[in-house]
């Protein structure tokens, strides 16, 4: 526990101390990507004149996945629409619907794997703000904005309420945030039956951001979280995904959790231009479930790489990461499918090319994971994909 808090302290100190080292000469960024607010001419938290935002992201992804139980070769078309609409200077709405269309070939031992076309709401909430990045809100919230990718999948959106208070000093922003939401499985409908209470996820945490451009940014966040009253459908699916089952079965087909899921989740990511067109990038995440014993309750992801801007218009990035997610570090039903739920350890490699002027990106991704502990419901897994995206198409 002491080591965890030491790591979190280092994380925030890194964010602050590196962030304020802004005197170094760097490649000039476009004004549209710069934070031009300074403490000298603008009050901390000044809202300014709001402007509505609307954009569309289009993506085409070819994926190949293989495990002991299934093999998939799939083409996905993804449409991601974002809207931020100001009713007045204090009240605004955020909406982020996503459409996913699939075509391809799927094989599985039990026939459980299938392709499904889906329209989902990743974010839909109403906000009241009194300062910049200070608000109360109610609606459906993208959980990846709050937690690291170790705790929840990037498709998880839970309904409830949030509050945040921030202070700003030039390019640096520090915040305190909290939320109470109803967790569910990839939809806006919770999974409990009529005999069970509504599940809950409560969290409180800190955030820190320093930004002077898209190649000079440090973001850190740390949260205490607690899942409670999770329904039988979630515990059953989570046991299949690697969580430890209680010694007593609910029925022949239903399972209960052996441990509670509450603890600490932290995340750090950065990009930093170091010389002319070259820049560094990296990320690290650490998760500890205090409701389970050591040996099964922790997860981490760490790594980094570099990037280079060619001719002022083409960003080439290469990075690699290693990860380990023990069996009871997080709730299996909500865990990240890119890391094959829980009880896996492995590595990933990412290479991308972005055309800044024409606003598109091509990405290659590869991940190879092995089981930490043998489990008849799980296996070693491997995935790679090639993705083409048109980014932030203004509407």
Number of domains in the chain: 1
- Quickly state the pLDDT bin for 196 (edges 50, 70, 90): confident
What separation, in Å, do the N-terminal and C-terminal C-alpha atoms of the chain show? 48
Confidence at residue 31, expressed as pLDDT on a 0 to 100 scale: 32
Predicted TM-score of the model (pTM): 0.84
The set of residues, in sequence order, having a beta carbon less than 8 Å from that of 53 and lying 6+ positions away, is: 82, 83, 84
Q: Are strands 118-131 and 53-67 parallel, antiparallel or unpaired?
A: unpaired
Nearest Cα neighbor of 155 from 114, 180, 183 is: 183
Q: What is the mean pLDDT of residues 367-382?
A: 93
CATH code where residue 345 lies: 2.40.160
Confidence at residue 198, expressed as pLDDT on a 0 to 100 scale: 84
Domain membership of residue 85 as a residue range: 2-394
Burial 195-221 (b: 16+ CB within 10 A, else e): eeeebbbebebbbbbbbbbbbbbbbbb
Cα torsion for 219, 223, 228, 230, to the nearest 10°?
20
Range in 45-49, 85-89, 216-220, 273-277 the model is least confident about: 45-49
Strand partners, 200: 228
Confidence at residue 137, expressed as pLDDT on a 0 to 100 scale: 98
- Computed over every residue of the chain, the mean pLDDT equals 86
Residues 33-64: tens digit of each pLDDT:
334 344 344 455 667 778 899 999 999 999 99
Q: What is the mean pLDDT of residues 211-233?
A: 93
Looking at per-residue pLDDT, the higher value among 93 and 255 belongs to: 93
pLDDT at 263 over 90: yes
Please state, in angstroms and rounded to a whole number, the distance separating the CA atoms of residues 98 and 81: 6
Do 355 and 41 meet the contact criterion of CB atoms below 8 Å apart? no
Confidence at residue 24, expressed as pLDDT on a 0 to 100 scale: 38
Q: What is the mean pLDDT of residues 15-24?
A: 42
Ordered alpha helix ranges (H), 228-286: 232-240
Looking at per-residue pLDDT, the higher value among 121 and 5 belongs to: 121
- Quickly state the pLDDT bin for 334 (edges 50, 70, 90): very high
């Amino acid at each position: 526990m002491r080591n965890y808090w030491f790591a979190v302290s280092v994380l925030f100190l890194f964010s602050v101390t590196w962030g304020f080292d802004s005197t170094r000469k760097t490649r000039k960024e476009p004004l549209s990507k710069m934070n031009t607010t300074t403490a000298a001419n603008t009050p901390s938290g000044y809202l300014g004149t709001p402007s509505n935002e609307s954009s569309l992201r289009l993506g085409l992804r070819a994926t190949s996945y293989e495990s002991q139980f299934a093999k998939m070769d799939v083409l996905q078309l993804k449409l991601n629409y974002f809207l931020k609409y100001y009713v007045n200077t204090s009240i605004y709405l955020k909406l982020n619907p996503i459409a996913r269309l699939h075509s391809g070939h799927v094989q599985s031992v039990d026939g459980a794997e299938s392709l499904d076309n889906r329209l989902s709401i990743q974010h839909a909430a109403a906000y009241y703000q009194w300062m910049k990045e200070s608000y109360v809100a109610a609606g459906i919230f993208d959980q990846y904005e709050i937690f690291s990718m170790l705790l929840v999948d990037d498709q998880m959106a839970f309904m409830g309420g949030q509050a945040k208070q921030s202070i700003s000093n030039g390019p640096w922003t520090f915040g305190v945030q909290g939320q109470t939401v109803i967790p569910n499985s990839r939809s806006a409908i919770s999974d409990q039956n009529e005999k069970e209470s509504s599940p809950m996820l409560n969290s409180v945490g800190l955030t820190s951001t320093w930004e002077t451009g898209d190649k000079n940014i440090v973001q850190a966040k740390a949260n205490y979280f607690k899942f409670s009253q999770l329904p039988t459908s979630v515990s059953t699916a989570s046991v299949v995904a690697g969580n430890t089952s209680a010694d007593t079965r609910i029925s022949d087909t239903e399972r209960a959790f052996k441990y509670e899921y509450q603890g600490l989740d932290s995340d750090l990511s950065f990009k930093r231009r170091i010389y002319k067109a070259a820049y560094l990038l990296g990320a690290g995440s650490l998760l500890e479930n205090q409701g389970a014993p050591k040996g099964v309750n922790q997860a981490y992801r760490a790594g980094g790489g570099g990037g280079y801007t060619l001719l002022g218009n083409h960003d080439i990035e290469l990075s690699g990461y290693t990860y380990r997610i023990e069996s009871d570090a997080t709730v299996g039903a909500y865990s990240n499918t890119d890391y094959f739920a829980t009880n896996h350890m492995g590595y990933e490699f990412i290479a991308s090319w972005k055309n800044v002027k024409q606003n598109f990106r091509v990405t290659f991704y590869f991940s190879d994971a092995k089981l930490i502990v043998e489990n008849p419901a799980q296996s070693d897994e491997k995935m790679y994909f090639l993705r083409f995206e048109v980014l932030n198409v203004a509407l």
